Structure 1
Amino acid sequence: MPITIHPLAPHLGAEIRGLDLAQPLSDQDFETVRQAFYDHGLIVVRDHPFGDDDHIRFSQRFGELKRLKFDAYLGERRPEIFVVSNIKKDDQYIGAHDAGMFWHSDGPFLDQPHGPSALHALEVPEQDGRALGNTEFTNTAAAYDALSPEMKRRIEGMQAVNSLARRFELAQREGVQGTSAARQASGEVLAAVHPVARVHPVTGRKCLYVSDGYTTEIVGMPQDEAKALIKELTDHVVKPDFRYTHAWRVHDLVMWDNCATQHKATFDYKLPQRRLMHRTTLEG
């Protein structure tokens, strides 16, 4: 079956049909997939079961994979696999149960932010035959393009601080109990400075690189003024016009660009409704 590309939303996302991740991918077909990924910022592969080894093999075609640091989220999985789940074993979550509570991209608190991430659905919560736990995505390049010329001039050259502490603070406000990984990270100072308008390393497009989940300040700007600007930009970047909503099915793979997109999970389920996802992430 030939590989075909089917756009999902006006500004974001494409479904790749005819791609079986359990089978080797030719160089020609991979180039088609790679081009679709950077053209659309996010790709979806459905309807073909595959395993962790297949997941890793496909992701590695895009570059070097990160290896998991947090033992609490690793379990018996390979270190390239990050577990996202609300399932408990011995009264401990087997993965990141609160991942994606706030709009964010992955890894902006690092000097070298994450490259693309790919999430594989193994168990999807349901109610009355309807999938729960959708994920919202937004296109940060389209959001930048839609800024007024005045705002583009204003933020040109601006730098923002992105801190992991912000993510933990927001989770605590929502009453989320600290995970083992959070406790392991709490002793580290993880914050990095990046451009407010970041140039995409592959496409060359400018992308808004501020998020509700991680951005805390604008370098050299008074706190009140910075807070107002961050809110204005983060409200803008998640406007419905720039979004795609993914309703998960078992065996779905969704791969997104962490410069050109942000994402946020929908927490409309709870145990005994189980959610289990495996994620790979590329080095930046």
Structure 2
Amino acid sequence: MEVNQLNETMGAEVTGIDLTQTLDDETKSAINKTFVDNLVACFRGQNFDSPDAFLKGAGYLGTPVAPILTNYLLPGQKEVEALTSDAHDKRVGGIVPQRRGLTWHTDHSNIAEPPKATMLYGIDIPSKGGDTQFINMYAAYDALSEDMKDFINGRRVLHVYQASRAPRKMGVRTKEQEDSSPGVWQPLVRLNPDTGRKALYLNDMRMEEVEGLSEKETTDLLKELLDHCIQPRFQYSHKWQKGDVLVWDNRSTLHQGSAGIDPSERRYLHRVMLQGEAPVLAN
């Protein structure tokens, strides 16, 4: 196993590991440490012959969980989803929005125990466009002024399925899905249990209200924090290769997809999310 940094901000490239094989405890510990230490880990050259094989490989980094929405699940699967640039893909069996994920977010922050990590497996990769971009939320928090840290430490934010100020619309839910996730108060600054470090915990799609602030104060504060986070110095943009398995820490990063894919090409990936824990409020 060889590990190389992807850039100065975050991310590690892992080679010499085959996630289709049985891994010993030492190797499993090493790949999990690489993920935790670097926030984003890319396992190059993977070749899963089925969604079940990908699901088994994902299990080396955590416990796969079912997504909130079932719209994108592969046939016969409870945890493995498809992400595609095609408006209609017969392998998924229905219409799939092309602009999914094109805003900064962290996955499923509107539930009590959001996934600790998300894994993507690159099957069809376009020659350009379709990068996945990340923000290091440890670094973004560390770079705040002490006055701002004092102001936001210990505060909570109400995360809902779709915030009133969300920059894009989310997928349509059933009544049962709406009732199962009415919203939850989450820390504005979150303590990562694996590292003990503080990270900003933001999601422009979900954040409705900051505890103790008016609507205008909430809007102004969240805009200031998001504008701070999206500075290039905190970012890493992943250029996909066929066979990449990318896993990232949802507790301490933001991510978004990028457009620019040639319509004559396609981007097709499989996704699995890993069980997380209730976010810990940082004081």
* Residue 227 of structure 1, CA deviation: 0.7
* Residue 145 of structure 1, CA deviation: 1.0
* Residue 95 of structure 1, CA deviation: 4.4
Aligned to 1:235: 227
- AA at the equivalent of 1:184: T
Aligned to 1:114: 115
Give the SS at the match of 1:73.
coil
User: What is the rounded CA distance, in whole Å, between the counterparts of 1:259 and 1:69 in structure 2?
Assistant: 17
- AA at the equivalent of 2:261: Y
TM-score (norm 2): 0.88
Contact 2:165 2:208 in 1 (8 A): no
Contact 2:187 2:201 in 1 (8 A): yes
Aligned to 1:175: none
* Residue 274 of structure 1, CA deviation: 1.5
Contact 2:164 2:208 in 1 (8 A): no
User: What is the rounded CA distance, in whole Å, between the counterparts of 1:143 and 1:265 in structure 2?
Assistant: 20
Contact 2:165 2:205 in 1 (8 A): no
* Residue 270 of structure 1, CA deviation: 5.7
Unaligned runs of at least 5 residues, structure 2: 277-283
For the pair 1:8 / 2:6, whether they are aligned, the reply is yes
CA shift in 2, pair 1:60/1:17, >3 Å = same
- AA at the equivalent of 2:101: G
Deviation per CA, 1:194-214: give whole Å up to 9, x if none: 111010121111110012222
* Residue 66 of structure 1, CA deviation: 0.7
Aligned to 1:20: 18
Deviation per CA, 1:158-187: give whole Å up to 9, x if none: 111122212995324xxxxx75xx243774
Q: Return 86-95 or 112-121, whichever deviates more.
A: 86-95
Give the SS at the match of 1:72.
coil
Contact 2:162 2:205 in 1 (8 A): no
Deviation per CA, 1:65-99: give whole Å up to 9, x if none: 11245443124152110211133147974545332
Computed over aligned residues only, the root mean square deviation of the Cα atoms, in angstroms, reads: 2.3
Higher helix share: 1
- AA at the equivalent of 1:103: W
Of 260, 266, 270, the residue aligned with 2:258 is 266
Give the SS at the match of 2:168.
helix
Q: Return 251-260 or 20-29, whichever deviates more.
A: 20-29
TM-score (norm 1): 0.87
Give the SS at the match of 2:236.
strand
User: What is the rounded CA distance, in whole Å, between the counterparts of 1:283 and 1:75 in structure 2?
Assistant: 19
Contact 2:46 2:245 in 1 (8 A): no
Please show how residues 78-157 of structure 1 align to structure 2 within 5 Å: 78-87=77-86, 88-89=88-89, 93=94, 95=96, 97-126=98-127, 131-157=128-154
Contact 1:83 1:94 in 2 (8 A): no
User: What is the rounded CA distance, in whole Å, between the counterparts of 2:41 and 2:164 in structure 1?
Assistant: 26
Aligned to 1:40: 38
User: What is the rounded CA distance, in whole Å, between the counterparts of 2:111 and 2:97 in structure 1?
Assistant: 19
Contact 1:217 1:223 in 2 (8 A): yes
Contact 2:73 2:80 in 1 (8 A): yes
Aligned to 2:162: 165
For the pair 1:283 / 2:275, whether they are aligned, the reply is yes
Give the SS at the match of 1:137.
strand
- AA at the equivalent of 1:67: A
Aligned to 2:61: 62
* Residue 16 of structure 1, CA deviation: 0.6
- AA at the equivalent of 1:109: N
Aligned to 2:279: none
Deviation per CA, 1:107-134: give whole Å up to 9, x if none: 11111111111001111223xxxx3211
Q: Return 209-218 or 116-125, whichever deviates more.
A: 209-218
Give the SS at the match of 2:213.
coil
User: What is the rounded CA distance, in whole Å, between the counterparts of 1:259 and 1:196 in structure 2?
Assistant: 12
- AA at the equivalent of 2:115: H
User: What is the rounded CA distance, in whole Å, between the counterparts of 2:153 and 2:70 in structure 1?
Assistant: 40
Unaligned runs of at least 5 residues, structure 1: 173-177
User: What is the rounded CA distance, in whole Å, between the counterparts of 2:134 and 2:21 in structure 1?
Assistant: 28
- AA at the equivalent of 1:106: D
